[in-house]
Homo-oligomer: A and B are copies of this chain.
């Protein structure tokens, strides 16, 4: 089988540390041929570092010549996901796009629709799906061990983790704050647990008190003036089948833990906690607490990239699909709308 040709769009840390190593580890299935970045030198340097043949500062140029790929990985700022994805699909490439899918639900919808029309895969790098904990809970749910799941608490919280670098607090580039950057990861897991239904009722609140006050935290010093996004978001989602999600995301919150990324899943037969993986159920008529101390860590980026390749090849895959991305982005939109 001939190798899939891949291009990387966006030459930052995520490309260098996550996507390129994963693709290189899968060299029996894929080969990176081009890297495209706003700054030609950066693209060139990254390409050299990873033995990639072509480097561009203009994607159109890339699609026009020898460097044309079969698939692209989009690792740019959030607001560029949409234009680069649309362009890639127009050029008949599969698209593996960083999260969040886009800036608005409309964009994410269009991306899914165009992929459908072109018969290409568009998928998103929501890699927490690949943790052994989430896989296990999903398997438990499928095997019926949890019964029907009716409520989920989903948290992606940092105590004082407003990044002191990058564009994380710039609304026009990022599209939002803690929800857009962190919340989508855990929201994706929660929605997946409920078969990616679209909620019919949402109430949400967002805040920016700590962000707007400026200060120094566990991820550096941030600027009060340029802080334009929410530092915390709390929402309740209710679904047509009466299941519900209570979602909390924060860059900064006066809480105990430095970081709390978790999922509590409540089902009719049992409950599950994501980290540390636990089940709370009944065994032999007694209330039982189950721990899994020997669960092995896994390389979740490698697993997610593999899942994307599987999807491209028409194999079964648990990748976040274009349709799911559109729903996820629609939920995000509605949360922001509710929060005003």
Contact = CB atoms under 8 A, between A and B. Distances in A.
A273 to B, nearest CB: 7
A254 B281 contact: yes
Interface in A242-257: 242-244, 246, 248, 253-256
Nearest to A296: B218
Interface stretch (A84-92, A143-151, A185-193, A320-328): A143-151
Interface string A253-289: 1111010000010111111010000111101111111
A290 B293 CA distance: 11
Contacts of A286: 132, 136, 292, 294-295
A202 B293 CA distance: 36
A62 interface: no
Interface of A: 132, 136, 139-140, 143, 145-148, 150-151, 159-160, 201-205, 207, 209-210, 213, 216-218, 232, 234-236, 238, 242-244, 246, 248, 253-256, 258, 264, 266-271, 273, 278-281, 283-295, 338, 340
Given A159-B294, A160-B294, 13 more contacts: A136-B286, A145-B284, A147-B209, A204-B238, A236-B236, A246-B246, A246-B248, A253-B271, A254-B269, A256-B278, A286-B295, A288-B291, A289-B293
A255 B266 contact: yes
A151 B283 contact: no
Give 8 nearest A-B pairs by CB, closest first.
A254-B271, A236-B236, A205-B244, A209-B268, A203-B203, A287-B294, A203-B236, A289-B291
Q: Can you tell how many copies of this chain the complex includes? A: 6
A243 B139 CA distance: 35
A282 to B, nearest CB: 8
Contact of A159 (B150, B280, B291): B280
Contacts of A217: 287
A210 B287 CA distance: 13
B289 A213 contact: no
Contact of A238 (B147, B203, B271, B292): B203
Contacts of A147: 209
A231 to B, nearest CB: 10
12 contacts: A159-B287, A159-B294, A202-B203, A205-B238, A232-B266, A234-B236, A246-B248, A254-B271, A255-B280, A258-B293, A279-B283, A286-B292
